Amino acid sequence: MNETLIITTTSRHKCAACFQQFKKKEHLVAHMKISHHSLHQPKCPVCQKHCKSFESLREHISGPLAKAHCSSIFFQYGCTLCMRVFESSISLAEHKDQCLLTAPACLGTVDIPSIDYEGLEDENIKAVAIDCQMVGCGSDGSLDLLARVCLVDEEENIIFHTFVEPHISVTDYRYELTGLTEAHLINAMPLKEVQEKISEILYNGESIGKAKLDGGKAKLLMGHNLKHDLDCLLMSYPDKLLRDTATYRPLMKTNLVSHSLKYLTKTYLGYDIRLGTQDPFQDCVSVMRLYKRMRSQEHQDDKTAASCTKENLIFDCRTPNDLENMSPDELFQISTPNYQCWCLDSRPRYPSV
């Protein structure tokens, strides 16, 4: 009796962004809805796979389970800082001379005068970086109290710096971390005046209400863990104008936990910070450089990028049958990101208050 061997093959449905495969089309559709793949996600320069973060991309290229072909090409022609691949080793070497930055000089704490910005209406200044230094108060010194603040512009110029007068008793100056002593806070600027100065800078010398009515005139504000800095300043600022290197998804860990500024600076800019005490000027410059590096990424124009939402609402506007009849590429085209890529700041329509 002859036996007939019947071989059945099951078609797989491959995600056009991350290349994950599914047995059923409905599973691919569900994946696309929750993954928020977009043209703005970090992408492997070799195989074009999209990753959730640069950390995921580094794992794909150089991790324990890295793809051999991508790893081989990247090892020869890839920049480990900006993750780009070049056509030749000569082009890569020329690029590294510009991509690898040197650490900015520390401002220090000895005999530093307060620096006040006068050109509040300078329209060339679109963004500023801020860093605050805290000392401890309370019985155990664990309560943060603002003691120093620094702001720099996109050209790394200091536009405001001052020590801040403590409004309650300081119990721990955290000298090993801050380099501050009681002497630094004698005759320091009152917090209310600090708030007024910073508001004038951020709103171009106008009142907050008038700036909101005019729209688009307030500056972008960047920092690392901005919410904590603003809380210590007892200030608020529109979320759409905040650029936080601690919570920017491409710079976070794969599990959406923040990296330290020290790690981000070493990994993406190539130099070390905080080798001694924390320096607010050095931190401000590093944050600004990280922002400009992320902003300078070249992504294709994406019409859906402006409608960043927590859910892919475009998927909800279509029937399940319509979605399952779409190709993986078509599903990718309608998928919306769940964060606003900083490359959009370089386009005229972004941002507005």
- Residue 81 falls inside a structural domain: yes
CB-CB contact of 78 with 62 (8 Å): no
Instruction: Indicate if 275 and 342 belong to the same structural domain.
Output: no
Residue 3 in any domain: the answer is no
Q: What is the pLDDT of residues 172-219, one digit of tens each?
A: 999 989 999 999 999 899 999 999 999 999 998 765 555 554 445 799
pLDDT digits (tens, 9 = 90+) for 264-282: 999 999 999 987 788 999 9
pLDDT tens sequence across 242-265:
999 999 999 999 999 999 999 999
- Structural domain includes residue 115: no
Residues 152 and 227 in one domain: yes
Distance CA 41, CA 24 (A): 25
Say yes or no: 131 and 269 in one domain.
Answer: yes
Instruction: Give the structural domain span for 218.
Output: 127-295
Say what the pLDDT of residue 107 is. Answer: 85
Q: Examine the domain organization and report whether 25 and 85 are in the same domain.
A: yes
Contact at 8 Å (CB) between 278 and 178? yes
Q: 199 and 274: one domain?
A: yes
- Domain limit, last residue, from 295, 312, 333: 295
For residue 83, pLDDT beyond 80: yes
Residue with the bigger pLDDT between 299 and 220: it is: 220
Mean pLDDT for 314-319 is 83
Helix (H, G, I), strand (E, B) or coil at 137: strand
Say whether both 283 and 140 belong to one domain.
yes
- Domain for residue 263, yes or no? yes
Whether 118 contacts 157, CB under 8 Å:
no
Instruction: Answer with the one of 295, 314, 332 that is the final residue of a domain.
Output: 295
Look up the CATH number of the domain holding residue 180: 3.30.420.10
Residues 143 and 91 in one domain: no
**pTM here?**
0.88
Query: 283 and 304 share a domain?
Result: no
Token pair of 138, please?
Answer: 């309370």
Q: What is the pLDDT of residues 52-76, one digit of tens each?
A: 999 999 999 988 888 899 999 999 9
Shared domain check, 311 and 290: no
**Digit-coded pLDDT (tens) for 122-167:** 567 889 999 999 999 988 888 999 999 999 999 999 999 999 998 8
* Average pLDDT of the residues of the chain: 87
Specify the higher pLDDT residue, 42 or 314. 42
Query: Of 256, 278, 295, at which residue does a domain stop?
Result: 295
In a domain, 224, yes or no: yes
In a domain, 108, yes or no: no
Query: For residue 191, what are the CA distances in angstroms to 116, 130, 196, 197, 233?
Result: 15, 15, 9, 10, 7
pLDDT band at residue 352 using 50, 70 and 90 as cut-offs: very low
- Residues 160 and 243 both lie in one domain: yes
Write down the pLDDT at residue 302: 57
> Is 6 among the domain residues?
no
Residue 120 pLDDT greater than 60, yes or no: no
User: Same structural domain for residues 22 and 41?
Assistant: yes
Indicate whether 319 and 286 sit together in one domain: no
DSSP letters spanning 150-199: EEEETT--EEEEEEB--SS-EEE--HHHH---GGGGTTPBPHHHHHHHHH
Provide the pLDDT for residue 351.
47
Domain count, the chain: 2
Kindly state the average pLDDT of the residues 211-235.
84
